């Protein structure tokens, strides 16, 4: 193995790639050759570091210098100053907004990382995901070796049971129990399936694991295959994740070459192989029975349970299916033991959970925290609070299946059961922060719109019920709500929850029910007073020019309806009867003089 005096880690996750990290990596490679440093310095394209808001991200080791918002034109300076002369380019390093002028030069010292505990993401942003040797150097395949050489299948299952690990896809079913059922099932062939159909809009942790540490998933699936007696595995991954698919393909190929997949793995006599199946853009395929129908080449429609997949799953054979993040925990649990895993998190929710933090928050990105951490800590200590000095209103977890959590509940610990109790759910890990400008009725409408779009149409409550709910919500945000709408929504919601066929329908009313529960006054303002308290719903707003107006005439010129009149250098006026509420004037005004009321 070659030795390098410094390593430059460039984030090759989707977020940073979108903002041009590919070009940055290319430039680094060109520059180190130009200065003759290519034998001394290694450029590594890693997976996601997590702090997407600061992307594209570059980290230089051994110092651990953290460069953020790097542009291609910054590369030359980093190479000539830092890599050649050893002088850190301070003006390009990450600046912690909270702490002002103080300069934080290393990754570990940043507030964003301090409260995190990285088990699932431990290799993301650290290793080159396209190189199996780097994974092995970080204890990769050590768990598989331990399992195949010194453990019986039942012992493996017991460790997972004892660890208390619960499904990270959202519902939180104990993983060990799932394995136990699949192991106990009889069938001429058993299957191991990894659910990587991450469809929750605003959640991307599974993708980051696949992009940043694909071997961890392969290793875990092989361990699980050994435990339940499956010899064939499938990874069902969204086609919308091209980087993840590519890295999985590379990882599978390398693992086969190393004898870590295929026949007689590590000489143990155990055979296991994995193939990839691509999703085709149907959210419902995240539901396990729909996912299996899709692998079988059919419409991805769910079916009723029982029989559970452990008894009759893929191709009518016993099947175990887990989510990416669940699998990514397995190798660490095997190496460090169930007691170690239990020592993290809370009694009923052990270990950590990865969240995709987004929306109105300063530090957008991926965070992994021990279970039991308070929402407040995630949003303020790790997330860095709300941008622009705005007031926090709610945080949404669980995506289209979850609910909105208001400010007064920010001190609850994050656990499966507490989140369910307050009308939300853990979900796969999307965590979207909303501030005072977000209208909760509109957010509920947004999620319902998503569900209606993605409902497969097989069962009536979901196909028709969610549509009726959406129609009512549409009416409310357009100022046409009537007394009794809320009661109708609640009754419909309860009925859909009780009667829909699969998890998609059973949880679809949650965003509506939770917002009605916690933000009833906002709904009532829309219905009774025809007013949107967040000043968001266009149909309920009137635009108004305040005395900040300098009479620059920009608004009058841009108004497509000629609704604004006024003389130069004098305050203008909007004729609300002509105004079509397009908002063009607000965007144009440089003095912040136009308000929505």
Partner 1 sequence: MTEQKDKFAKLQEAIDEHKGQKGALMPVLQAAQSIFDCVPLDAQEYIADALGTTLSDVYGVATFYSQFSLQPKGKYVVGVCLGTACYVRGSQKVLDRVEKELGIKVGITSKDGQFTLQATRCLGACGLAPVMMVNDEVYGRLTADEIPSILEKYRD
Distance CA 346, CA 422 (A): 18
Stretch of residues binding partner 1 (CB under 8 A), selected from 179-187, 217-225, 292-300, 470-478: 292-300
The nearer residue to partner 1, 50 or 372, going by C-beta atoms, is 50
Helix (H) or strand (E) holding 544: strand 543-545
Stretch of residues binding partner 1 (CB under 8 A), selected from 116-124, 199-207, 255-263, 328-336: 199-207
Can residue 566 be called a binding residue for partner 1 (CB under 8 A)? no
Can residue 595 be called a binding residue for partner 1 (CB under 8 A)? no
Can residue 280 be called a binding residue for partner 1 (CB under 8 A)? yes
Can residue 364 be called a binding residue for partner 1 (CB under 8 A)? yes
What three-state secondary structure class fits 18?
helix
CB-CB contact of 344 with 350 (8 Å): yes
Can residue 583 be called a binding residue for partner 1 (CB under 8 A)? yes
Stretch of residues binding partner 1 (CB under 8 A), selected from 39-47, 81-89, 212-220, 356-364: 356-364
The nearer residue to partner 1, 143 or 432, going by C-beta atoms, is 432
Stretch of residues binding partner 1 (CB under 8 A), selected from 12-20, 129-137, 329-337, 540-548: 12-20
The token pair at 117 is: 């505990």
Cis before residue 440, ω within 30 degrees of 0?
Answer: no
Q: Which residue from 401, 395, 434, 436 is spatially nearest to 414, judged by alpha carbons?
A: 395
The nearer residue to partner 1, 204 or 341, going by C-beta atoms, is 204
Helix (H) or strand (E) holding 435: strand 430-435
The token pair at 499 is: 């009667």
Distance CA 334, CA 156 (A): 8
The single-letter DSSP state of residue 366 is E
Residues 17 to 36 in contact with partner 1, rule: CB under 8 A: 18-19
Cα angle 424, 429, 431 (rounded to 5 degrees) comes to: 70
Residue selected from 295, 369, 448, 459 as contacting partner 1 according to rule CB under 8 A: 295
The nearer residue to partner 1, 41 or 205, going by C-beta atoms, is 205
Q: Residue 459 CB, nearest distance to partner 1 (Å)? A: 15
The nearer residue to partner 1, 15 or 170, going by C-beta atoms, is 15
Can residue 298 be called a binding residue for partner 1 (CB under 8 A)? yes
* Residue indicated by tokens 């649990």: 333
Q: Residue 158 CB, nearest distance to partner 1 (Å)? A: 32
Q: Residue 497 CB, nearest distance to partner 1 (Å)? A: 21
Stretch of residues binding partner 1 (CB under 8 A), selected from 369-377, 439-447, 493-501, 564-572: 439-447
Q: Residue 438 CB, nearest distance to partner 1 (Å)? A: 6
Can residue 434 be called a binding residue for partner 1 (CB under 8 A)? yes
Can residue 355 be called a binding residue for partner 1 (CB under 8 A)? no
CB-CB contact of 479 with 433 (8 Å): no
Distance CA 520, CA 282 (A): 32
The nearer residue to partner 1, 140 or 359, going by C-beta atoms, is 359
Q: Which residue from 356, 517, 375 is spatially nearest to 440, judged by alpha carbons?
A: 517
CB-CB contact of 223 with 330 (8 Å): yes
Q: Residue 357 CB, nearest distance to partner 1 (Å)? A: 8
Can residue 443 be called a binding residue for partner 1 (CB under 8 A)? yes
Instruction: Report residue 355: phi and psi, to 5°.
Output: -120, 145
The nearer residue to partner 1, 128 or 211, going by C-beta atoms, is 211
The token pair at 416 is: 């499966």
Can residue 592 be called a binding residue for partner 1 (CB under 8 A)? no
Residues 6+ apart with CB under 8 A from 114: 108, 381
The token pair at 208 is: 């980051």
The 111-150 site mask, x for binding partner 1 (CB under 8 A), equals ----------------------------------------
If you compute the radius of gyration of the chain from its CA atoms, what whole number of angstroms results? 26
Cis before residue 56, ω within 30 degrees of 0?
Answer: yes
Stretch of residues binding partner 1 (CB under 8 A), selected from 200-208, 375-383, 500-508, 544-552: 200-208
Can residue 52 be called a binding residue for partner 1 (CB under 8 A)? yes
Stretch of residues binding partner 1 (CB under 8 A), selected from 136-144, 370-378, 407-415, 429-437: 429-437
Q: Which residue from 83, 67, 76 is spatially nearest to 11, judged by alpha carbons?
A: 67
CA 521 to chain centre: 30
Cis before residue 306, ω within 30 degrees of 0?
Answer: yes
Q: Give how far Cα 490 sits from Cα of 135, 242, 412, 455, 494, Å.
A: 50, 40, 25, 20, 6
Can residue 417 be called a binding residue for partner 1 (CB under 8 A)? no
Residue selected from 239, 316, 567, 568 as contacting partner 1 according to rule CB under 8 A: 239
Instruction: Report residue 550: phi and psi, to 5°.
Output: -105, 0
Residues 494 to 553 in contact with partner 1, rule: CB under 8 A: none
The 366-405 site mask, x for binding partner 1 (CB under 8 A), equals ------------------------------x--x------
Q: Residue 567 CB, nearest distance to partner 1 (Å)? A: 26
H-type alpha helices, 358-434: 375-376, 416-421
The nearer residue to partner 1, 129 or 176, going by C-beta atoms, is 129
Cis before residue 307, ω within 30 degrees of 0?
Answer: yes
The contact set with partner 1 (CB under 8 A) reads 14-15, 18-19, 52-53, 55, 199-204, 207, 239-241, 277-283, 294-301, 315, 356, 358-360, 364-365, 396, 399, 430, 432-434, 438, 443, 446-447, 450, 456, 583, 587
């Amino acid at each position: 193995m070659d030795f390098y005096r410094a390593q430059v880690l460039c984030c090759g996750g989707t977020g940073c790639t979108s903002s041009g990290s590919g070009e940055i990596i290319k430039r680094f490679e060109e520059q180190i050759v130009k200065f003759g440093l290519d034998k001394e310095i290694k450029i590594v394209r890693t997976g996601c570091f997590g702090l997407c808001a600061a992307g594209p991200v570059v980290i230089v080791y051994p110092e651990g210098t953290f460069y953020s918002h790097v542009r291609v034109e910054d590369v030359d300076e980093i190479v000539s100053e830092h890599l050649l002369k050893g002088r850190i380019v301070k003006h390009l390093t990450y600046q912690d907004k909270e702490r002002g002028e103080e300069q934080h030069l290393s990754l570990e010292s940043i507030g964003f990382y301090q409260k995190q505990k990285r088990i699932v993401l431990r290799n993301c942003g650290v290793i080159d995901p396209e190189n199996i040797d780097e994974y092995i150097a970080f204890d990769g395949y050590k768990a598989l070796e331990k399992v195949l050489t010194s453990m019986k299948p039942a012992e493996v299952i017991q460790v997972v049971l004892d660890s208390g690990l619960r499904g990270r896809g959202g519902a939180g079913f104990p993983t060990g129990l799932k394995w136990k059922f699949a192991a106990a099932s009889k069938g001429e062939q058993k299957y191991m399936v990894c659910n990587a159909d991450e469809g929750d809009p605003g959640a991307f942790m599974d993708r980051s694991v696949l992009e940043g540490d694909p071997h961890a998933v392969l290793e875990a699936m092989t361990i699980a295959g050994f435990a339940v007696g499956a010899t064939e595995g499938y990874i069902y991954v969204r086609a919308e994740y091209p980087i993840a698919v590519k890295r999985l393909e590379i990882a599978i190929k390398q693992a086969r070459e190393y004898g870590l997949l295929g026949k007689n793995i590590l000489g143990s006599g155990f055979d296991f192989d994995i193939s990839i199946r691509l999703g085709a853009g149907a959210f419902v395929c995240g539901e396990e029975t729909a996912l299996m129908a899709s692998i079988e080449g059919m419409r991805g429609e769910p079916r009723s349970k029982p029989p559970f997949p452990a008894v009759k799953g893929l191709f009518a054979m016993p099947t175990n299916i887990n989510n990416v993040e669940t699998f990514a925990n397995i190798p660490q649990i095997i190496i460090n033991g169930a007691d170690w895993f239990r020592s993290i998190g809370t009694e009923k929710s052990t270990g950590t959970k990865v969240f995709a933090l987004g929306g109105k928050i300063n530090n957008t990105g991926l965070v992994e925290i021990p279970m039991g951490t308070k929402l407040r800590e995630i949003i303020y200590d790790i997330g860095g609070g709300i941008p622009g000095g705005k007031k926090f209103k709610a945080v949404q977890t669980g995506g289209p299946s979850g609910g909105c959590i208001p400010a007064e509940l920010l001190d609850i610990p994050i656990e499966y059961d507490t989140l369910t109790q307050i009308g939300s759910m853990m979900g796969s890990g999307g965590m979207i922060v909303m501030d005072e400008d977000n209208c909760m009725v509109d957010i509920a409408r947004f999620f319902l719109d998503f569900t209606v779009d993605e409902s497969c149409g097989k069962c009536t409550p979901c196909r028709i019920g969610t549509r009726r709910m959406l129609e009512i919500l549409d009416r409310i945000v357009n100022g046409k709500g009537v007394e009794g709408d809320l009661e109708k929504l609640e009754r419909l919601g309860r009925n859909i929850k009780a009667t829909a066929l699969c998890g998609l329908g059973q949880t679809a009313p949650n965003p509506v029910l939770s917002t009605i529960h916690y933000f009833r006054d906002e709904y009532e303002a829309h219905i009774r007073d025809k007013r949107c308290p967040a000043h968001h719903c266009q149909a309920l707003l009137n635009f108004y020019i305040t005395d900040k107006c300098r009479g620059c005439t920009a608004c009058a010129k841009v108004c497509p309806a000629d609704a604004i009149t006024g003389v130069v250098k004098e305050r203008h006026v909007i004729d609300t009867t002509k105004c079509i509420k397009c908002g063009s004037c607000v965007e144009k005004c440089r003095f912040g003089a136009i308000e929505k009321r």
